[in-house]
């Protein structure tokens, strides 16, 4: 069954994520980064940011918190057994630092019904505690029929 296009524009409640210094460091190590902005407390404290900074790809950590509720949304009724990750893209507007509190909102921005699959695109927009835009992520998933 095709994903109904009436769900374009559907939104989910805001998710809040507090950026922890150790979580950023663990993520940086996992991606094999040695950047002192991500790992070195003394260096980061003396930098213009005055705190440990998260790598741009850390956006998948706070953005992913919103993907799970979408996958299990009873209205959408996505067939998870047939769902695969298509692609993701990000636009970055401000640096994410340890201690930031991030507020992310998700909405469906597109649904395409093709012969043997559906494509669903979800936009996740994140702001920090100062209400400044931090990141916009577009997550695209393919559901085979």
How many CB atoms are located within 10 Å of the residue 48 CB?
6
Model confidence pLDDT, tens digit, residues 6-36: 999 999 999 999 999 999 999 999 999 999 9
Q: How far is CA 143 from CA 4, 63, 93, 100, 120, in A?
A: 13, 20, 31, 35, 8
pTM for this structure? 0.90
Query: What are the extents of the domains in the chain?
Result: 5-17+55-144
Name the CATH superfamily for 5-17+55-144.
Hotdog Thioesterase (3.10.129.10)
Supply the pLDDT for residue 65: 84
Contact 93, 125 (CB under 8 A): no
On the 0-12 / 13-18 / 19+ scale of CB atoms within 10 A, 6 is exposed
Contact 19, 103 (CB under 8 A): no
Longest dimension (CA), the chain: 56
- List, in sequence order, the alpha helices (H) in the chain: 21-30, 36-39, 41-46, 59-71
Mean pLDDT, to the nearest integer, of 73-83? 93
């Amino acid at each position: 069954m095709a994903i109904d296009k009436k769900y374009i524009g559907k939104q989910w409640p805001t998710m809040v994520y507090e950026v922890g210094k150790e979580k950023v460091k663990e993520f940086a190590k996992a991606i094999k980064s040695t950047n002192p902005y991500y790992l070195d407390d003394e260096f980061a404290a003396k930098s213009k940011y005055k705190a440990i900074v998260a790598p741009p790809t850390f956006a998948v950590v706070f953005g992913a918190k919103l993907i799970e509720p979408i996958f299990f949304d009873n209205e959408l009724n996505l067939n998870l057994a047939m769902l695969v990750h298509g692609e993701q893209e990000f636009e970055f507007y401000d640096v994410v630092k340890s201690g930031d509190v991030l507020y992310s909102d998700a909405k469906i921005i597109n649904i395409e019904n093709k012969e043997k699959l559906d494509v669903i695109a979800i936009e996740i927009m994140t702001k920090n505690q100062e209400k400044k835009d931090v990141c916009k992520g577009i997550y695209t998933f393919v559901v085979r029929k």
